[in-house]
Structure 1
């Protein structure tokens, strides 16, 4: 008969290895390539009208598909990066 403590230690070691694998695995969220005006407004924490104004003024680029405006996620991230770089630029 084997020692019960050895069995417990072996199981705990297996659990620890599994937890480490889960912890180190990169989390990939389902990010759609295109965002609607509503989704963009939620990300930016502004109103939908503000997003429409950003598009009109050229701060954001959007594609019209039927009656829906779609904003590419990469374009949104680029626009945000540009705003951040302008904010900290010295005059």
Structure 2
């Protein structure tokens, strides 16, 4: 029969090694809050023209900064959750 203190020490050392591993892991690059039209198109896997059409139709909201359109990542993700098919819309 094993000594219970040895088992506890072994588990604590395993926990310690896991915590050190987590501590020394490289921090993943945070995703930017705003996306350009090109980045949004790559994210959605559509063309840039499609993104412009989504903005015109009101599916996506964008802010114009100079000549650049910026779209919030959260708006893109929210719009994906609320996908509504216009083709099958009841009249």
When normalised by structure 1's length, the TM-score is 0.64
Residues 45-83 of structure 1: CA distance to partner in whole angstroms, max 9, x if unpaired? 011111011101111000000000000111111111101
CA RMSD of aligned residues (A): 3.1
Map of 1:55 onto structure 2: 55
CA distance in structure 2 between the partners assigned to 1:44 and 1:18 by the alignment = 39
Q: How many residues align?
A: 73
Map of 1:82 onto structure 2: 82
The alignment partner of 1:71 has SS state of strand
Shift of 1:31: 1.0
For structure 1, which runs of at least 5 residues remain unmatched after alignment? 1-9
CA distance in structure 2 between the partners assigned to 1:15 and 1:56 by the alignment = 56
The alignment partner of 2:61 has SS state of coil
Shift of 1:16: 7.9
Map of 2:69 onto structure 1: 69
When normalised by structure 2's length, the TM-score is 0.64
Map 1:19-38; keep pairs closer than 5 Å: 19=18, 21-22=21-22, 29-38=29-38
Bigger share in helix: 1
Structure 1 segments (4+ residues) deviating >4 Å:
13-17
